[in-house]
Amino acid sequence: MRAAVLNAPHDFGLTTRPTPEPGPGEVLLRVEATTLCGTDLRLISGAKTAGVRPGVVLGHEIAGRIEAVGDGVDGYPVGAQATVSIVVSCNHCSACLAGREHFCANLELIGYAIDGGLAEHLLVPARAVANGNVILTPEMPARTLCLAEPLSCVLNGAGQFTTRPGDTVVVLGAGPIGLLHTQLAKAQGASRIIVTNRSAGRRELALELGATHAVDPTSQDLQAVVDEVTDGQGADVVVVAIGALPLANQALELAGIGGRVNYFAGFPKGSTTEMDPNIIHYKELQVTGGSNARRSDVHRAVQVLGSGAITADRIVTHAFELSDVDQAVQAVSDQLGVKVAVEPR
């Protein structure tokens, strides 16, 4: 089979490997599509190396079908569509026992330490199958199903706070994650959704996907816009969907009394910033983070995608055949479109 392998930082490319056969407890998927994200670029460049195995097949946003199962595996009919929860946990550390398997002390991730979806086939190891990491799904376009992984992370982040009908929500950043947060806020009943981005195209897309206001932070005063929209009350929810340091404190300033601020995006390693704690204190803000997702979040993401609440074809805008995976990676680097899929054909 063809597979896109990361041997070392800057040593990434297509190779040929034997097609795996599932052993006891294992499941073999035929990959239909895998979408790329910024993390894949960081793995390839070496900006992120923790938990990455040399020689791993990249790809963690995966849609496929059951191709074969090993002895002892039931409930996964051949031909059924499926995705995977990439978090493979130990089930016995304190994080796992607390229901936070995405913080497992012995965590391994599919597409990082375990071979991922940038290949014609994906072998899911027995421990992952036993954990329930292979998730059968209703029939949907493969490119849509690929969004289950990033959407599961968005749902985990959004689960740290409450968005109520009628709320004003500010989403800082209109990349794929920001656009998913925008659509989720709309589905949750937010009445005013203010999205920021430097790109005119991304701002227009945000408006198409449910934003009521789109702000260019390079030429508009975001605080003034929020004040005008909310009659000076501030936002109910602020989601930081891009890891730009100036936004860390600005997010607190944009929130109103009792507001909820979620730092969804990660920031560059070693980042520090000055923050006025009195903003949190006197506004009684709820400040949360959001990192990765649990298997339950992936199940919820599949349900949301199946409901039609997410306009997936406006998120996954470009596709490349697996043989052209280098071009796909370059397209992500060049910010071509919004999200790029790789499809073995």
For all residues of the chain together, what is the average pLDDT?
A: 97
Please tell me the predicted confidence (pLDDT) of residue 193.
99
Residues 6 or more apart whose Cβ sits within 8 Å of residue 232: none
Q: Is 305 found in the same domain as 277?
A: no
Expressed as residue numbers, the domain containing 269 is 161-289
Q: Are residues 297 and 271 in the same domain?
A: no
Q: What is the pLDDT of residue 274?
A: 87
Sheet of 11-16: strand order equals 11-16, 2-8, 56-57
Per-residue pLDDT of 181-215, as tens digits, reads 999 999 999 999 999 999 999 999 999 999 999 99
pLDDT digits (tens, 9 = 90+) for 255-312: 999 999 999 999 888 889 888 999 999 999 999 999 999 999 999 999 999 999 999 9
Alpha carbon dihedral 24, 26, 31, 33, in 10-degree steps, equals 180
Q: Are residues 7 and 146 in the same domain?
A: yes
pLDDT band at 2 (very low <50, low <70, confident <90, very high): very high
Q: Mark whether 194 and 145 lie in a shared domain.
A: no
Q: What is the pLDDT of residue 311?
A: 96
pLDDT digits 0-9 by tens, 124-179: 999 999 999 999 999 999 999 999 999 999 999 999 999 999 999 999 999 999 99
Q: What is the CATH number of the domain that holds 254?
A: 3.40.50.720
Confidence of residue 13 (pLDDT cuts 50, 70, 90): very high
* φ/ψ of residue 316, rounded to 5: -90, 100
Amino acid identity of 224?
Answer: A
9 & 127 share domain: yes
CATH number of the domain residue 131 falls in: 3.90.180.10
> How many CB atoms sit inside 10 A of residue 73's CB?
19
Does 102 lie in the same domain as 39?
yes
Q: Which residues pair with 263 in a beta bridge?
A: 240, 289
pLDDT, tens digit, 9 for 90 and up, residues 20-46: 999 999 999 999 999 999 999 999 999
